[in-house]
């Protein structure tokens, strides 16, 4: 009887060693796979930054703007359809074009003064070699892209223009809510809205922060949440400029040296 028990124990031990070995082998493979995926992801961003079509003055801003870190945080990847709202002269549009690749597409939105005939001609020429970039000159609240058609949208250094009006004082302007709600409509469920903005001191009023072209993080969160977005996470990649006085109007010298909020919101 003892012999049978001993034999059973030896067999069970051998069986567990085999299972454990397989588990460790699979775990190692998964770890290697994750590392390779991270390396592949970084290579995509670096290739986009190295695109020779990017103007030298924009490349010079990469050190301050850290676009590879920001876009990785927002989860922008090949094959996505992304709206760069208030895209301006296209700093992020060009980089986004390279990241999403030929299977993806970018909607570069500009309106107001940037939608003049002169600027429309300028941007048409500027993006003539970017086959995956579409121009859009509708105001953010009027953009007519289909429902649930975007994987992501970005608003870079824009919402400090949206969060205050003389008419509404310390309440969010209706036009801002209209814009956010239209972006929400165009995003797919789970889609991302990435926000980058000059930060002011916490608790600063709308009227004061508007006057210095900044926005407090808590007001940004309140406005986006009221519009239906859910705050997913925050990055502190731009919260590392100790010489930036967040109680005064930011200046262009040096450029890209302001403390900035970087928020990732999602459509529920």
Q: Where are the domains of the chain?
A: 1-50, 54-266
Does the pLDDT of residue 147 top 80, yes or no?
Answer: yes
* Average pLDDT, integer, range 71-83: 98
Cβ pair 43, 234 in contact under 8 A:
no
| pLDDT of the residue at 39 | 59
pTM of the model: 0.85
**Two structure tokens written together for 225:** 């949440």
- pLDDT above 70 coverage of the chain, percent: 85
pLDDT of amino acid 243: 86
Fold of 54-266: Rossmann fold (3.40.50)
pLDDT at 253: 81
Residue 26 has pLDDT above 50, yes or no: no
pLDDT, tens only, 158-199: 999 999 999 999 999 999 999 999 999 999 999 999 999 999
């Amino acid at each position: 009887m003892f012999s049978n028990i001993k034999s059973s124990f030896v067999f069970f031990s051998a069986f567990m060693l085999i299972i454990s070995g397989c588990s460790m082998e699979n775990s190692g493979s998964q770890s290697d796979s994750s590392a390779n995926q991270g390396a592949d992801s970084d290579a995509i961003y670096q290739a986009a930054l190295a695109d020779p079509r990017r103007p030298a003055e924009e490349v010079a801003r990469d050190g301050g703007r850290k676009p590879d870190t920001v876009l990785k945080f927002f989860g922008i990847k090949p094959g996505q359809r992304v709206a760069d709202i208030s895209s301006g002269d296209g700093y992020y549009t060009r980089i986004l074009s390279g990241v999403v690749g030929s299977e993806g597409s970018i909607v570069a939105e500009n309106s107001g003064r940037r939608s003049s005939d002169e600027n429309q001609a300028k941007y048409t020429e500027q993006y003539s070699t970017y086959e995956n970039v579409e121009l859009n000159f509708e105001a953010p609240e009027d953009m007519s892209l289909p429902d649930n058609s975007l994987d992501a949208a970005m608003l870079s250094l824009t919402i400090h223009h949206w969060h205050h009006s003389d008419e509404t004082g310390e309440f969010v302007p209706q036009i801002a809510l209209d814009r956010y709600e239209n972006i929400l409509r165009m995003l797919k469920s789970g889609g991302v809205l990435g926000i980058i903005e000059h930060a002011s001191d916490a608790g600063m009023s709308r009227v004061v922060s508007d006057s210095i072209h900044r926005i407090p993080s808590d007001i940004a969160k309140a406005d986006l949440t009221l519009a239906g977005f859910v705050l997913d996470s925050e990055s502190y990649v731009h919260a590392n400029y100790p010489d930036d006085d967040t109680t005064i109007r930011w200046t262009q010298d040096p450029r890209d040296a302001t403390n900035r909020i970087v928020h990732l919101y999602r459509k529920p």
